[in-house]
A and B are shown apart, each in its own frame.
Chain A
Amino acid sequence: MSGTAKLRPLPGEFNPLVIRAEAEVAHVELCDVDLAFGRRVVFEGLTCRFPRGRISVIMGGSGLGKSTILRMIGGLQPPDRGRVLVSGQDTVGLGESAMAQVRRKLGMLFQNGALLDSMTVFENVALPLREHTRLCADEIAHQVHDRLQAVGLPDVDDLLPGELSGGMLRRAAFARAIVMAPEILLCDEPFSGLDPPNVSRIEVLLQHLNRALGLTLIVTSHHMATSLRMAEQLLLLQDRSVVSGAPAELAASRESAIAEFIGEDGAEFLARHLESSPQGSKP
C-alpha cells in the first residue's frame, strides 16, 4: 500500500463509530506508522486503534499488509517510523527482554500454525506453560487437554505437527495461542483451510473468549461472512487508505471501493444477520 494510510471516518455527516471509538480505551494503537520493504511502501502514516475487549477484524486484498499489522503489534516487525502502543506502552525500540514482557500479554495464531516440528502436539501446547509457570505436570496436562478439547482435537497428543492435516494444525496452533490466557489475541487468517463445522467452532470459541474473558481480539480474515458476523470493528485496508467502522456501517457505505470489497453477498448477509439479531446490531 502506498500513499497516506490513516484511519478516516466513513463518508457522511454523522459517524457513530468515531464517537464510540474515541470514548473507548484503545488496547492496541498504531500511530503514524511508516513501513517499507525496500522500495515497496507498505504503510505511510498508518494510524489505527483496537479497543479493549472488542473483536476487530482487518480485511483487505492480498499484499496490503494485514499480517504485517499483526507482526508490528507483536514486535516481530519494527516500523520504520511511528509508534505501536500495547496497553499504552510504546513497543518500538524495546529490547528483546522488555519485549518479552509485553508479549506475555499477547497470543498469536500464525497463518501456517508455526508449531515446532520436532515436538508433539501436546508438547507444543504445553511449552508456554512449562516455560512461564510453575504448574505441576498434572495441571499442565489438564490445561493442555482442556484447550485441545475446546478446539476439537481430543486425541492428538502424541502426533507430530507433520502428521496433522492443515485444519488440525491450525486448531492445534490455536490451542497453543490461548493456553496462557492472553489479554490480546492476534489471529492471522484463523478460518482459512478449515471446514465449515470447524469455522463455526473457532468462531464460537473466539466469541466466547472475547465475552467471557474480555479478550481483545485482532483478526485478519478473508472469510467475509464470519468476519461480518463476529466483528465489532472492521478495518478495511485499501491501496491508499484504511477505512474503519462497524460492519453495518461499512456494508451501508456507498463508497465504491468498500462496496466492491464487501460485495452484494456480504451486504445481504449482513442485512439478514442484523434482522435476525435480537438487538438489531452489536453492542
Chain B
Amino acid sequence: MLGPVRRLGALAVARIEGLGRMTVFLGQVGRAMLRPPVRIGYVVRAVYDSGVLSIALICASGATVGLVLGLQLHNTLSRFGAEESLGTAVGLSLIRELGPVLTGLLVTGRAGSAATAEIGSMKASEQLDGLRMMAIDPIHFVVMPRALGLAIVMPLLSALFIFFGIFGAYLIGVEVLGLDAGSYLSRLENAVDFREDVLQSLVKASVFGILLGWIATWRGYACEPHAVGVSRATTSTVVTASVCILLADYVLTALWGV
C-alpha cells in the first residue's frame, strides 16, 4: 500500500538531490572562471568549436526563417493593406523572440550535445580521472572553457541569425514581392528600440547561453561512465536545455514588462 508513495518520495528526494548537486556544480564552474590560470587558449578553442563551426548552420537557418517569415507576414499584412509594415513585423519578431530562441535551440542541438558527448566520453575513458591524478581540476581544465564558450557564442550567433533573418525577409519582400526597399528598412529602423528590443534580445541570448553551458557540461560531467550513459546524457541535454530555454524565454519576456 505504501510502496508507490515511498517510491514517489524517493524519486522526489533524488530529483531534489540532483538539483542540489547541479547547483553546487554551477558554483564550482563559476569559481573556476575566477581562478588562475586563465585558460584563454582553451576558451578560444571552445568558442571556435561551439561558435565558428555553427556559423554556416545559423546563417542558413536564419535566412530560411527570414524567407518564410517574409512570405507569411506579407500574406497576413496584405489582408489589412499593411504590407509596408513587413520590415517592422519581421524585425520585431526576429529580434525579440525568434532570433534568441531559435538560435538557442539550434546551438543546443549542435554544440550543446557535442559538449556533453565530449565530456561524457572523457569521463567514460577515465580522462577526467587522469587529470585529477595529475592534480589538475577537470572543472577548471575541461568544463569551464566549454561552459564559458557556449555562453559567449550564444549572443553572437543570435545576432547573426537575426541579421540573416532580416536579410531573408528583405529578399522575399523587396526583391520578390516588390515592396519598396527604403520603406522596408526605414520602418524596421523606426520600430526597433535599443533598450526594449535589442537589449532584451541580447539578455535572452546570454541567459540561454549560460543555461546551455550549465546543462550541457553538467550532463556530461555527471553521466554514467559508459557508452549508454553518454548517449542518455546527450539526449537529456537536448531535451532539458530546449525546455529550459523555452521556459526562460517566457519568464524573461514577462519580466521585461511586455
The answer to whether A100 and B122 touch (CB under 8 A), given A76-B129, A114-B127, A114-B130, is no
* Contact status A107-B133, CB under 8 Å: yes
Write the chain A residue with the least CB distance to B138: A96
* Contact status B127-A116, CB under 8 Å: yes
Query: A197 vs B234: C-alpha distance in the bound complex, in angstroms?
Result: 42
Q: Does A50 count as interface, using CB distance less than 8 angstroms?
A: no
Q: Does A74 count as interface, using CB distance less than 8 angstroms?
A: yes
Q: Does B125 count as interface, using CB distance less than 8 angstroms?
A: yes
* Contact status A115-B134, CB under 8 Å: no
* Contact status A114-B125, CB under 8 Å: yes
Query: A76 vs B123: C-alpha distance in the bound complex, in angstroms?
Result: 12
**Residue-wise interface mask of B (174-209) relative to A, using a CB-CB cutoff of 8 A (1 in contact, 0 not):** 000000000000000000000000000000000000
**Residue-wise interface mask of A (107-150) relative to B, using a CB-CB cutoff of 8 A (1 in contact, 0 not):** 11011101111000000000110011000000000000000000
Cross-chain contact of A103 among B122, B127, B132 (Cβ < 8 A): B132
Q: How far is the CB of B29 from chain A (nearest CB, A)?
A: 13
Query: A106 vs B134: C-alpha distance in the bound complex, in angstroms?
Result: 8
* Contact status B134-A127, CB under 8 Å: yes
Total interface residues on B, CB under 8 Å, equals 14
Q: Does A101 count as interface, using CB distance less than 8 angstroms?
A: yes
Contacts of A104 in B (CB 8 A): 135
The answer to whether A108 and B133 touch (CB under 8 A), given A115-B127, A117-B122, A117-B127, is yes
Q: How far is the CB of B145 from chain A (nearest CB, A)?
A: 12
* Contact status B135-A101, CB under 8 Å: yes
Contacts of B137 in A (CB 8 A): 96, 100
Contacts of A71 in B (CB 8 A): 129
Q: How far is the CB of B128 from chain A (nearest CB, A)?
A: 9
Q: Does B136 count as interface, using CB distance less than 8 angstroms?
A: yes
Query: A117 vs B137: C-alpha distance in the bound complex, in angstroms?
Result: 17
Contacts of B136 in A (CB 8 A): 127-128, 131
Cross-chain contact of A132 among B121, B131, B135 (Cβ < 8 A): B135
Contacts of A112 in B (CB 8 A): 125-126
* Contact status B132-A76, CB under 8 Å: yes
Interface centre among B122, B126, B130 (most CB of A within 10 A): B130
Total interface residues on A, CB under 8 Å, equals 26
Interface centre among B122, B127, B132, B135 (most CB of A within 10 A): B135
Which positions 34-52 of chain A face chain B at CB distance < 8 Å? none
**Residue-wise interface mask of B (108-144) relative to A, using a CB-CB cutoff of 8 A (1 in contact, 0 not):** 0000000000000110011101111111110000000
Query: A75 vs B132: C-alpha distance in the bound complex, in angstroms?
Result: 9
Q: How far is the CB of A127 from chain B (nearest CB, A)?
A: 7
Query: A180 vs B136: C-alpha distance in the bound complex, in angstroms?
Result: 13
Contacts of B131 in A (CB 8 A): 116
Contacts of A100 in B (CB 8 A): 132, 135, 137
Q: How far is the CB of B192 from chain A (nearest CB, A)?
A: 42
Query: A116 vs B129: C-alpha distance in the bound complex, in angstroms?
Result: 11
Contacts of A74 in B (CB 8 A): 129, 132-133
Which positions 53-76 of chain A face chain B at CB distance < 8 Å? 71, 74-76
Contacts of B135 in A (CB 8 A): 100-101, 103-104, 128, 131-132
* Contact status A110-B134, CB under 8 Å: no
Cross-chain contact of B134 among A75, A76, A103, A111 (Cβ < 8 A): A103
Query: A100 vs B135: C-alpha distance in the bound complex, in angstroms?
Result: 5
Q: How far is the CB of B10 from chain A (nearest CB, A)?
A: 15
Pairs A-B, 10 closest by C-beta atoms: A114-B130, A114-B126, A100-B135, A108-B133, A103-B135, A128-B134, A110-B126, A104-B135, A76-B129, A114-B127
Q: A71-B129, A128-B136 are in contact. List 18 more A-B contacts (CB 8 A).
A: A74-B132, A75-B132, A76-B129, A76-B133, A100-B132, A100-B135, A103-B134, A104-B135, A108-B130, A110-B126, A110-B129, A111-B126, A114-B127, A115-B127, A116-B122, A127-B136, A131-B134, A131-B135
**Cross-chain pairs A/B with CB under 8 angstroms, 24 sampled:** A74-B129, A96-B137, A99-B132, A100-B135, A100-B137, A103-B132, A103-B133, A104-B135, A106-B133, A110-B130, A111-B126, A112-B125, A114-B127, A114-B129, A114-B130, A115-B130, A117-B122, A117-B125, A117-B127, A128-B134, A128-B136, A131-B134, A131-B135, A132-B135
Q: Which positions in A face B, CB cutoff 8 Å?
A: 71, 74-76, 96, 99-101, 103-104, 106-108, 110-112, 114-117, 127-128, 131-132, 176, 180
